[in-house]
A = this chain, B = another copy of it.
Amino acid sequence: MFDGIKRPTLVVDTAKVRRNAVRMMERAKRNGVRFRPHLKTHQSRIIGRLFRDLGVRTGTVSSVEMARLFADDGWNDLTIAFPANLREIPEMDELAGRIRLGLLADNPVTVRALSEGLRHPVELWIKIDVGSRRCGIEAGDQAGLRAVSEAVRESPNLRLAGVLTHDSRTYGVRGEEAVGRLFREGRDALLSAKAFLASEGWKDLLASFGDTPSMSLLEDWSGLDEVRPGNFAYYDLQQYVAGSCSPGDIAAAVACPVVGVYPRRGEAVVYGGAVHLSKQSQAMPDGGTSYGAVFEMRNGAWEGFREGAGVRGITQEHGIVRMRPEDLEALRLGDLLFLCPVHSCLAADLLRPNTVYL
């Protein structure tokens, strides 16, 4: 069934994507929270349509280009969850003319530039930093919150939708307890910003939160109005190590032709490198560093990882794979190994021209 694969190829198991999506949607429904999945994980119209067929109408993207990709395919309610780039105001305006568009700002300069440059109305989210130290106003910075919200008030074409955060700290810990502690801290910080803005006269603001570890590991999302996880569509080795998924939940594999077998070193080399899987590495529980796991294949499908195997190194086009002697002995040049990427969002981005859907 994989005879046509000649080069490193992303293989997506759509049944698993659907199962992951349904599980997340049902949890959102139980929590009474709007589900606005991040579409950057897959950047795929096919997976986007799978979500729409399940009833999802609201999506998140991380660039103007990506918003255009999905808007052109029928999505009409998208948030660009990336600080509004002042060099793309005309492109944002074009989008705002045809879909309901959400934008992010964390400072009054951006708000005023949007207000001047956009002719169509948009929803404005104030980006809050609850601890990641990437973008956003620190949740307790009331002067900052006031400055940006006042700038929105003076902008007739901007409607303040709410406060929004992404807490990337949860990607660095393991398990429900550690993730739960960070989640509650981040959520409470976000809600404190919302409460401050309410005290400033802003009514009906929403609190939007999003990260796959929290949304996967925790059942209770109370206090939130909207969630934006993305990676859960495919999951990956990073999420497995964080405890967010089982190997059987991982819906994307990178099929790589075997181009070298070195039994003396206990290694094989595949056609599949940094330009296919990305250079992202993962600290493993055993203390090692991995660039990917190897799936055990049964009847053309994967459920678990192959014992004693892993990608120990990666260069531009090569992946160097440790394997047990008995597995190396059975391996033939030209066989495919199915790798579990460390970070499926990056592999999916790199392999957009080479993706097959099961």
User: Chain A: residues with CB nearer than 8 A to chain B?
Assistant: 5-7, 40, 62-65, 82-88, 91, 106-107, 109-110, 113, 133-135, 168, 257, 259-261, 265, 267, 269, 271, 274-275, 278-280, 313, 315-318, 320, 333-334, 343, 345-346, 349-350
Contact = CB atoms under 8 A, between A and B. Distances in A.
Given A107-B333, A315-B168, A333-B107, A257 B135 contact: no
A113 B334 contact: yes
Total identical chains? 2
Given A6-B85, A278-B279, A134 B318 contact: yes
B279 A91 contact: no
Given A91-B6, A257-B86, A345 B316 contact: yes
Interface centre among A88, A110, A315 (most CB of B within 10 A): A315
A85 B274 contact: no
Contacts of A257: 85-87
9 contacts: A6-B85, A6-B87, A7-B63, A62-B316, A62-B317, A85-B334, A135-B318, A274-B280, A279-B343
Contacts of A313: 134
A274 to B, nearest CB: 6
Given A7-B65, A109-B333, A259-B82, A315 B279 contact: no
A279 B317 contact: no
A133 B7 contact: no
Interface centre among A84, A86, A135, A350 (most CB of B within 10 A): A86
A100 B279 CA distance: 33
Contact of A88 (B7, B135, B275): B7
A140 B317 CA distance: 26
A346 B135 contact: no
Nearest to A354: B65
Nearest to A5: B87
